[in-house]
């Protein structure tokens, strides 16, 4: 029975302001106090609220919040209970992502005292991180909707003939500091090579497929020939 693929493999286009697939946003909690983290859908409907306590002596240095857990009833994932409370240390990192579902989710951080908005994930601020994992080969446009800035990214097709016998190892992730502009105009990535964008100003990043790359046309035939060769070798050995 085929299982459903995780959204990291199926969600191709990514948006830091509408989290889905492999898109992650990391925000640092530098102020001590009590906060409310609203989990929201596109139409700004609040699906859940998490109480965040930031303390000088808090023990947790990071927290991970799956925004889609609030949307799925009966989920047993971490933070399945929408009214969960979290206590973290001052300076802790908050990682937001949405592991399932297609509707983009975002989070709004409010003060617990007066509910004033302190941070909105639809507009990242300096030192926030946008982390994602390009998988599907093709040409993409990486853009900052707010500045605006653009960068062309080519996710290369994993042709085994290029590196026969070698594993496509998990290459090192790309770590980019992004100001008004991207530091490069174009970039080549391997599928499964992670990208960390470290923004220095307001940002809303989108990563959109422009042209899919379905690989060399002769690759399928090459694989068939490989199989035939493998069987022929086996049979030859067998007959000895």
Residues that bind another protein (CB under 8 A): 1-3, 5-6, 8-9, 22, 24, 26, 61-62, 93, 95, 129, 131, 133, 135-137, 157-160, 163-168, 170, 172-173, 191-194, 196, 212-215, 219, 223, 226-227, 230-231, 234-235, 237-239
Report the alpha-carbon distance of residue 110 to residue 125 in Å, rounded: 15
Report the alpha-carbon distance of residue 96 to residue 40 in Å, rounded: 12
Residue 146 — left, alpha, or beta (φ > 0 → left; ψ -120 to 50 → alpha)? alpha
CB of 209 to another protein, least distance (A): 11
Report the alpha-carbon distance of residue 98 to residue 22 in Å, rounded: 8
Torsion angle, alpha carbons of 201, 26, 45, 83, to 10: -140
CB of 180 to another protein, least distance (A): 23
Q: Which CB, 111 or 198, lies closer to another protein? A: 198
CB of 127 to another protein, least distance (A): 11
Name the token pair of 8.
């990291």
Q: Which CB, 179 or 191, lies closer to another protein? A: 191
Beta-carbon contacts of 26 under 8 Å, excluding residues fewer than 6 positions away, are: 93, 94, 95, 96, 128, 129, 131
Q: Which CB, 115 or 231, lies closer to another protein? A: 231
Q: What's the chain's length in residues? A: 240
CB of 116 to another protein, least distance (A): 27
CB of 37 to another protein, least distance (A): 17
């Amino acid at each position: 029975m085929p299982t459903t693929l995780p959204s990291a493999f199926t969600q191709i286009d990514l948006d830091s302001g509408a989290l889905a697939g492999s898109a992650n946003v990391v925000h640092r909690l530098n102020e001590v106090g009590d906060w409310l983290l609203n989990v929201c859908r596109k139409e700004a409907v609040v699906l859940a609220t998490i109480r965040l306590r930031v303390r000088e002596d808090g023990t947790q240095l990071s927290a991970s919040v799956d925004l889609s857990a609030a949307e799925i009833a009966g989920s047993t994932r971490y933070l399945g209970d929408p009214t969960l409370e979290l206590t973290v240390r001052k300076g802790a990192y908050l990682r937001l992502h949405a592991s399932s579902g297609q509707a983009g989710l975002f989070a709004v951080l409010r003060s617990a005292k007066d509910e004033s908005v302190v941070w909105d994930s639809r507009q990242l601020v300096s030192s926030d991180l946008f982390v994602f994992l390009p998988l599907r080969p093709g040409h993409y446009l990486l853009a900052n909707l707010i500045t605006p800035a653009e960068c062309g990214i080519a996710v290369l097709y994993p042709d085994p003939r290029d590196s026969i016998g070698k594993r496509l190892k998990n290459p090192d992730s790309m770590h980019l500091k992004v100001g008004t502009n991207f530091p490069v105009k174009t970039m080549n990535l391997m599928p499964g090579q992670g990208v960390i964008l470290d923004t220095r100003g307001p940002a809303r990043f989108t990563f959109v497929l422009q042209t899919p790359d379905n690989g060399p046309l002769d690759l399928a035939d090459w694989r068939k020939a490989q199989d035939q060769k493998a069987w022929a070798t086996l049979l030859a050995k067998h007959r000895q």
